Structure 1
Amino acid sequence: MHIAKHTPLSSTELGTLWMTYQTKTMMLQIYAHLLEGAKDEEPGQIMTYDRDKTAETVSKTREMFREAGAAIPQGFTEQDVKRGAPRLFDPVFEVMYLRMMSKVFTGLYALYNSMSYRSDIRQLYRRLTMESQEIYDRTTELLLEQGTLIHPPDVTMPREVEFVRDTSYMRGINPFGSKRSLNTVEVGHLYQAVETNLCGMQLMTGFAQGAAEPEVRMYFTKGKNLAKKIVQELSGVLMNSDVPAPAPWAGKATDATVSPFSDKLMMYNTSLLSNFGLGSNALGTAFSLRSDLPALMTSLSKDIFTYAVDGGKLMIKNNWMEEPPQMEDRKQLTRS
């Protein structure tokens, strides 16, 4: 039996719809700039497809807020994008950015679906997950065809099933003990983390060049250095097991020093990616059986968490952090 559409939104459903509205209105403004300068046919088609789907979702979530009697969030508006501004990134990086964001959204919407109870909201998140996967597929295929996306390393196929027979399999922290080679599960998480942070380095470079506020510029520069540190440390782990680390040679920030996006939008985008990085590191830690890897991931997670907290403080200082819907303060109501 389905929970009817007219059933009031639960607290979790209101929260996930609020987050969806924030991310989708942000992407609408990003597409407003990207499509101004899109010259290549295939990237333009991908952007137009996702822009149209994003606009549909914004309209749908607004309708849900109205039906629930909830205030419609501000999100991001035309004031967060400057029409006619120079391109902050080259065309290859723009596709890489869309691929990275599709990873974030695929994970978010699958999670939001598992937190939803009303059938219409579950249907919304199933559709959004499929749309994000569509963008991931199309951007990945395009970058592979261009030769600008490095394929993960090959591995010799196992010829028989093996079981771990000794706790030395987990050795890693002891500096005097030899570390076993990485298994393919560990390589997968490390490789993806390096790939994502390489993209993040370029994103932070462009944001730092274009930010209007000096303090915000410094924050993005700090983010670039953090991404660089993560790339260096995780690439070192891969190289020590003779596994080549990803090193894309294409896709970068331009020399523009004026951003088409507001500092508020760029800060929110950075916050979203920082939180995604924390979640990815947690997964990498959970599935790593070599003891040095969880220790390294935990250390990097602390750095990312500190960076995210500093970003939150900066957003609050500049009145850029929109407050999510709150639960009733029962203590305050009782005092009243």
Structure 2
Amino acid sequence: MTHDSTHLTSSEIASLWTAYMNDSMSRLVLNFMLKYMEDPEIKSVVQTAYDISVTHLEELEHIFDKESFAIPNGFSDRDVNMDAPWLFSDIFCLTYVNQMAKVGMLGYSGFLAMCAREDIRKYFTQGLSLTAELYNQSADTALAKGIFSRHPYIEVPKETDYVNDKSYFNGLNPFSEKRPLNTVEISHLYMNILTNSMGIKLCLAFAQTSPAKEIQEYMLRGKEISQKHIKIFSQTLLDNDIQTPRLPDISVSESTTQTFSDKLLMFHMSLIASAGIGNYAAAGSASQRTDLVVNYERLSFETAKYAKKGADIMINNGWLEQPPGTKDRNKLARKKES
């Protein structure tokens, strides 16, 4: 049986739908960024990211049309005000693309792993490859400009070793000494500092440009949560005599003109929150000191509560587009009987 006559599975439908929603949002954000770009090297990176989103949307719509798959509403040109003044610095835009490329690589690898049909696997394989190339392009540009946030340096190991005592996992007992952080734990702590730093800037930009008080308060709450999490992660590094490297100046302007629709802002924050929860889950499972694991669990719960509040706001305003799902068979039966 060829892929043309093979029905899409639930995971393939979910992956295609999610990819479309994400790209429809990214296209608008990147297009607005391009309008005010001054640095030609950074503009080239953002242009590549924009072109990828546009191409993906065209390819997805072709798949949807072939499968009689209802195209999601997603986001349109009505969700961005292209006449709004400058909002993001060039360095912010480069850092944003670099961070979102990381999210994209994780997303595409997950989509690929859940798909069976050859043409769908081919689409997500290509998407993963292009997103990896985008990440490398953004990283190379940031390195060339001296604004790439390198993870902390430690001495290269000269010999191998084994854990020979259960105290290696200690961290919560106040009467026992915590061992120094290992490289896996340092990596996750620093990565989560970077992602939360980006979250702070996005929250500020979204809060100051939204006309709705409810959205402003929600974004400012997100900023406070990110600041709290950065403080915890940074202190953990400092307690191990590891300085947090200087972050690039990813500034936003003081514009208060509405730039993006509140629907787009809330969707974007839900994407960021979901990525954060995923990062914390990965960090918690990889960390071997119990205090770190507990921290990631409680901070993940706080982020989940924040995401739930955002979903409630979206539902109340009719902004939360529902993913494809199965029919309620009991409801169908009752409707037939009536």
TM bucket, shorter chain: over 0.9
Q: Which residue of 2 aligns with 1:241?
A: 240
* Aligned residue number for residue 295 of structure 2: 296
Superposed, which structure 2 residues align to 1:4-83 within 5 Å? 4-83=3-82
Q: CA deviation at 1:84?
A: 2.0
Q: CA deviation at 1:170?
A: 0.5
Encode CA deviations 1:61-83: one digit per residue, 9 max, x unaligned. Answer: 11111111121111110001111
Kept in 2: contact 1:186–1:287 (CA 8 A): yes
Q: C-alpha displacement at 1:249, in angstroms?
A: 4.3
Number of residue pairs aligned between Structure 1 and Structure 2: 335
> In the TM superposition, what is the alpha-carbon distance from 1:31 to its structure 2 partner?
2.0
Measured in 1, the distance between the counterparts of 2:226 and 2:186 equals 18
CA–CA separation in structure 1 for the residues paired with 2:123 and 2:213: 40
1:159 matches 2:158 = yes
Cα separation, 2, equivalents of 1:204 and 1:211: 10
Task: Please list every run of 5 or more consecutive structure 2 residues that lacks an aligned counterpart in the other structure.
Answer: none
**Structure 1 equivalent of residue 182 of structure 2:** 183
Report the AA paired with residue 212 of structure 1: P
Between 133-142 and 246-255, report the one with greater CA deviation.
Answer: 246-255
Structure 1 CA distance, aligned partners of 2:35 and 2:149? 28
Instruction: Tell me the equivalent position of 2:149.
Output: 150
Amino acid of the structure 1 residue aligned with 2:264: L
Letter in 2 for 1:153: P
TM-score, length-normalised on structure 1? 0.97
Deviates further, 230-239 or 87-96: 87-96
Distance in 2, Cα, partners of 1:174 & 1:161:
28
2:128 maps to 129
Q: Which amino acid aligns with 2:262?
A: D
Q: Distance in 2 between matches of 1:319 and 1:246?
A: 42
Is contact 1:36–1:84 with CA below 8 Å preserved after alignment?
A: no
**Cα displacement (A) at 1:202:** 0.9
Within 1, Cα distance between the matches of 2:332 and 2:210?
A: 42
| 2-structure distance, mates of 1:33, 1:214 | 24
For residues 138-157 of structure 1, the C-alpha deviation after alignment (integer angstroms, 9 at most, x for no partner) is 11122222222231121111
Q: Which residue in the other structure is 2:119 paired with?
A: 120
State the secondary structure of the residue aligned to 1:5.
helix
Q: SS state of the match for residue 243, structure 1?
A: coil
Aligned-pair distance for 1:3? 5.1
- Equivalent position of 1:218 in the other structure: 217
Paired AA for residue 94 in structure 1: C
- Residues in 2 aligned to 1:240 and 1:8: alpha-carbon distance in whole angstroms: 55
User: Which residue is equivalent to 1:260?
Assistant: 259
TM-score (norm 2): 0.96
SS at match of 2:289: coil
**Residue 246 of structure 1: how far off its partner (Å):** 3.7
CA distance in 1, matches of 2:246, 2:270: 25
* Residues 111-154 of structure 1: per-residue CA shift (max 9 Å, x gap): 00011111111011111111111121111122222222231121
Which blocks of at least 5 consecutive residues in structure 1 are unaligned? none
1:70-112 per-residue CA deviation (whole Å, 9 max, x = no partner) reads 2111111000111121122211111111111111111001000
Does residue 319 in structure 1 map to residue 312 in structure 2? no
**Is residue 207–residue 266 contact of structure 1 (8 Å, CA) maintained in 2?**
yes
Whole-angstrom distance in 2 between the partners of 1:270 and 1:67: 32
8 Å contact from structure 1 (residues 195, 246) kept in 2: no
Alignment check: 8 A CA contact 2:46 2:93 kept: no
When residues 284 and 270 of structure 1 are mapped into structure 2, their CA distance, relative to the original with a 3 A threshold, is same
47-56 or 182-191: which moved more?
Answer: 47-56
What is the distance in 2 between the residues matched to 1:246 and 1:13? Answer: 41
SS at match of 1:111: helix
Distance in 1 (alpha carbons) for counterparts of 2:248 and 2:125: 35
Contact map agreement 1:88 1:256 (CA 8 A) in 2? yes
Segment of structure 1 superposing worse, 279-288 or 153-162: 153-162
Identity rate of aligned residues, in percent?
A: 32
Q: Aligned equivalents of 1:53 and 1:169: distance in 2?
A: 45
- Measure the CA separation in 2 of the matches of 1:6 and 1:45: 40
Inter-partner Cα distance in structure 2 for 1:205 and 1:115: 36
Backbone CA RMSD of aligned residues: 1.3
CA distance in 1, matches of 2:192, 2:141: 21
Q: Which residue of 2 aligns with 1:282?
A: 281
Divergent runs of 4+, >3 A: none
Q: Match of 1:316, as an amino acid?
A: I
State the Cα distance separating 1:203 from its structure 2 match: 1.1
